[in-house]
Structure 1
Amino acid sequence: MTVVPPAPGEPRRPEGPRNPGDAWVVADTGERYWGRFGAAGLLAVDATRGILLQHRVSWSHFGGTWGLPGGALHEGESAIVGAIREAQEEAGVPDGAVRPRFTSVLDLGIWSYTTVVADVRSPFDPVISDPESVALEWVPVDRVDELPLHPGFGAAWPMLRAQLDVFPAVVVDGANVVGSVPDGWWKDRAGAAARLRDRLAGLAVPADDLGLAGDDWYPEVALVVEGRARDIGTEAAETGAAEAGVAEPALAVVRADAAGDDAIVAEVERRVAGAQRVLAVTSDRELQARVEAAGAQVRSSGWLRRLLDA
């Protein structure tokens, strides 16, 4: 791998402090990829208007094509943070306007590009805020293929489009997960449930575990609590969402009025009826059979613990 600055006579980025990530990575075969530490782009999905696309200025790499707002990552920066930052710089995406749903990574070994698919939670109008865009438009999903697309985005679009109608959810048997580790939870059931709630904020689930395409998914999470744990609040601990410029994770606390198992089954049934792909977390064999019959996939409490510990 070789890292080089723009070639003589090649358009440069706007003047200002240069970030070490703003450089070309050149493969042995001569192909060039922007971003010493990789790159990321934001695919913002508005349920009414479609997806946000950028018409690239003619002098840019693959100029004249349509693609996603995005660019080079900073050293040590996560793909989600970088995609949001670049979209704010290039398209004026406001803080907290989008919530990540999943990521898809193209990893070439010497360089990687991460597409961050995010749902618009607060509608906004994009603003051209740097010289790299001719236009920024909300494009209906069924019209994207009519445009001359950036080659990388064009290759990824069929898979990405196929996932845009998928909204996974994870329903957690709070009592079972809390009780799976002998850490003294019985002394303070509400406190143990609150700690689990806080750890679930922003839960990332590998695509393979959901039977979906892509890499990591950020599903809606419903934590079902019962007994003394019903007293916990709905607020989650600081998740870093504000610093990343994204909307807060979708985390709901469901309080069981009676038997916790019945509340879990009811929550699964409600979400399955709403066409969500549901994964229920419990190690209770009888409950596993009930939620499977209701249409959910099942994972054990140990599976969730391993995800959270990772």
Structure 2
Amino acid sequence: MTAGDARPPTFTGPRDPGDAWAVGPDGTRMWGLFGSAGLLAVDRARGVLLQHRAVWSHYGGTWGIPGGARHEGESAVAAALRESHEEAGVPADALEPLFTRVLDLGFWTYTTAVAWTTHGFEPEVRDAESLDLAWVPLEEVDRLPLHPHFGEAWPLLRSMIRHRPALVVDAANVVGSRPDGWWKDRAGAACRLLDALAPAVADGLPAGLLGMDAHTAWPHTVVVLEGAAKAAAGTTAPRLEVARAGGTGDDEIVARVEALMQDDGGAPVTVATSDRGLRQRVEELGARSIGAGALRDVLDSRA
């Protein structure tokens, strides 16, 4: 179910409090008392998974994404995964999160969770909310009669779904931005940074930190260590890579930025450093930069 559906589905089991209308100050009704969410699954070979909506629904006969009302206490991403599984048989273990984008009407939100597929699967119609489900090549999406809300969002979504954003962290500069005794134990300070980054990267970072017009993003993150910090123990976390510089940390960061931009042309790359010279070097390559404090603020907010 998506924004403004004409009527709720028929429930055959216990009804969650979220399966109800949210009513705005002007009387506008949106389905999902706690908001709604949907999944835009992206198979980079076949396109995006779209749902041909049942004719009885609001904007019936149009194409959109599987989704529905969030349950009480349920995160938007969890709701998108649950609804897409219930409606289209999408297996959660076949998805890798990319970013989320939120439509916020004040009294109600709709979250689009975007994910890449990690292996192929075929969707299946599992309830009366779908006439059909199909993988649609990106260049053919605009040819379909799209649900108006999805149609409005599609141009921006399309511009961001081809590439995973990347974050390259100048560990020496980020660690050195705080006088916490790091100079006594550079490896230990690097370990603390990695320990803070791992869960943040796994849960998703604020997309604005990466220059994206979205809510949360899951970037490929490279932490560059140099000098004594290279003795820091590595960490195992999704999408988090530790690079130990053979020469200077700055040169390693520039090389990583060049490689990322070459290997995945068009991918947005952000470098976290307050070093002016390094920021100039990476920006000349087409990357963007943020200060060490901006990254620190995000990590501190999670502490």
Query: TM-score, normalising length from structure 1?
Result: 0.84
Counterpart in the other structure of 1:277: 268
Asked if 1:307 corresponds to 2:302, the answer is no
Asked if 1:145 corresponds to 2:134, the answer is no
Q: Could you tell which deviates more after superposition, 41-50 or 154-163?
A: 154-163
> For the residues of structure 2 that align with 1:230 and 1:13, how far apart are their CA atoms?
59
Instruction: Summarize the alignment of residues 1-310 of structure 1 with structure 2, pairs less than 5 Å apart.
Output: 12-27=9-24, 29-200=26-197, 201-202=201-202, 203-207=204-208, 209-231=209-231, 232-236=233-237, 248=238, 250-274=239-263, 275=265, 276-310=267-301
Counterpart code for 1:18:
R
For 1:223, what is the secondary structure of its paired residue? Answer: strand
> For the residues of structure 1 that align with 2:269 and 2:299, how far apart are their CA atoms?
19
**Aligned-residue CA RMSD in angstroms?**
2.3
14 and 188 in structure 1: CA distance in 2 versus 1, 3 angstrom threshold: farther
Are the aligned partners of 1:163 and 1:213 in contact in 2 as well (CA < 8 Å)? no
Counterpart code for 2:259:
R
For 1:44, what is the secondary structure of its paired residue? Answer: strand
For 2:98, what is the secondary structure of its paired residue? Answer: strand
> For the residues of structure 2 that align with 1:211 and 1:157, how far apart are their CA atoms?
19
61 and 190 in structure 1: CA distance in 2 versus 1, 3 angstrom threshold: farther
> For the residues of structure 2 that align with 1:174 and 1:280, how far apart are their CA atoms?
11
> For the residues of structure 1 that align with 2:164 and 2:79, how far apart are their CA atoms?
23
For 2:92, what is the secondary structure of its paired residue? Answer: coil
92 and 187 in structure 1: CA distance in 2 versus 1, 3 angstrom threshold: farther
130 and 183 in structure 1: CA distance in 2 versus 1, 3 angstrom threshold: farther
Deviation at 1:140, TM superposition (A): 0.6
Counterpart code for 2:192:
R
Residue deviations 1:73-120 (CA, integer Å, cap 9, x gap): 122322222212221222222233222222221111221111112222
292 and 74 in structure 1: CA distance in 2 versus 1, 3 angstrom threshold: same
Unaligned runs of at least 5 residues, structure 2: none
Query: TM-score, normalising length from structure 2?
Result: 0.86
> For the residues of structure 2 that align with 1:49 and 1:303, how far apart are their CA atoms?
37
Deviation at 1:19, TM superposition (A): 0.7
Deviation at 1:57, TM superposition (A): 2.4
> For the residues of structure 1 that align with 2:128 and 2:186, how far apart are their CA atoms?
55
Are the aligned partners of 2:207 and 2:213 in contact in 1 as well (CA < 8 Å)? no
Counterpart code for 2:296:
R
For 2:107, what is the secondary structure of its paired residue? Answer: coil
Deviation at 1:255, TM superposition (A): 1.6
Deviation at 1:11, TM superposition (A): 6.0
Deviation at 1:188, TM superposition (A): 4.1
Deviation at 1:164, TM superposition (A): 2.7
159 and 293 in structure 1: CA distance in 2 versus 1, 3 angstrom threshold: closer
Deviation at 1:51, TM superposition (A): 0.2
Deviation at 1:53, TM superposition (A): 0.7
Counterpart in the other structure of 1:241: none
164 and 17 in structure 1: CA distance in 2 versus 1, 3 angstrom threshold: same
Residue deviations 1:6-54 (CA, integer Å, cap 9, x gap): 99xx563331111110001234555431100110111111110000011
Deviation at 1:309, TM superposition (A): 2.0
Deviation at 1:253, TM superposition (A): 1.3
Q: Could you tell which deviates more after superposition, 126-135 or 83-92?
A: 126-135
- Aligned-pair identity (%): 56
Are the aligned partners of 1:45 and 1:52 in contact in 2 as well (CA < 8 Å)? yes
> For the residues of structure 2 that align with 1:97 and 1:111, how far apart are their CA atoms?
29
